[in-house]
Amino acid sequence: MGVKLQGEDVTWLGHIAWYSVAADSAGVSQVKLDDLTSWADQLGVPLVSRPAPRTSAAFRSATSELSDRWTPTDGVTQELSVRQVRSNDDVVVRHIILTTTDSRRQHIEHTKVAEVKFHRPTRQKQGIKRGSERVTHRFAPDLEGDLLTRCERLVEQLQGAYAVRQEYVMVQTLRKVVRDLLDVRLEALALRRSGVYFIPAESAGFLPRVKELIGRFGPQAFLEYMPLVDSPQQRRMLADAFAAECADHFATVESVAAMEAEFGRDKPRRERLAVQQARLVQRGDYYRSLLGSERLEAHVHLGKAADLLAG
């Protein structure tokens, strides 16, 4: 059932909420990792998982934006760019490539002029040794003059961009922090193709703290919310949204079951799906109580998913 708004003859089902976490063109936020965890502790907002420094991701992001383009002579264009070469448990390797385009002779030439490497943290019996990671570079032996200067400048830019990304949280990580808070702490229900979430009334007291946390991410980060008034249309909207979430879950379970039939049982993934199944069943009980229905369409999908998981 809905909840009475204080002093008003109207009931509401919960809140609808929406958020944004913007970034600069390189995807870097204004939030330091230590600040994020400190703010969460101060506000009493337990993070679902505390982001760890992703040094290899910082290297990949830093190299992705490196380039230099110029015209040494009429009709000839040269450009330095970075290309991925390989990645394994020890290193991530990128090459700096010089591309020369001669429009008069319709000729394009590619030359490797430098190699940059990210050396992953050393692995010990006690775990990963933080701080042992490093970035190295090596220029082609015949590199000289203006081209050498340009390559040196590009590597300097890489070192600076990598250092920034180590210190600050990537925006994609902040967005995952928010999604996890909505999903786990606030039990949010995503309303399809709208960027809007339904927050159950029981989580209302937690919303201001989450709003304050997101607001600290920067001037272009926010969480806004407003009460969702009870009406037949809003009830239908929530029932359809929850049914869609359960349908997606069943489709995933069905896909995993089909893969297992061909390649064998995937125990870790099956365990994760079982946890998700239990959470959706619990939510289903909540929505059945909230919406006053004995059986929602969502329960059909959950029942079929349960049968596959029990097989």
In this predicted model, what pLDDT tens digit does every residue of 52-111 receive, in sequence order?
Answer: 667 888 888 888 888 999 998 888 999 999 999 999 988 999 999 999 998 876 778 999
DSSP character for 105?
A: T
CA–CA gap between residue 130 and residue 123 (Å, rounded) = 9
- Measured CA to CA in angstroms, residue 105 lies from 73, 75, 87, 204, 286 at distances of 13, 9, 36, 68, 71
CA–CA gap between residue 191 and residue 240 (Å, rounded) = 9
pLDDT-derived band at 170 (thresholds 50, 70, 90) equals confident
CA–CA gap between residue 302 and residue 294 (Å, rounded) = 15
Of 297, 253, 260, nearest to 278 by C-alpha is 253
pLDDT-derived band at 166 (thresholds 50, 70, 90) equals confident
CA–CA gap between residue 189 and residue 17 (Å, rounded) = 10
DSSP character for 97?
A: E
Neighbour tally for 217: CB within 10 Å: 27
Tens of pLDDT, residues 197-229: 999 998 988 999 999 999 999 888 999 999 999
Q: Where in the chain is the domain with CATH 3.40.630?
A: 55-168
CATH number of 55-168: 3.40.630
Q: Which amino acid is at 226?
A: M
Q: Which residues contact 263 (CB under 8 A, 6 or more apart)?
A: none
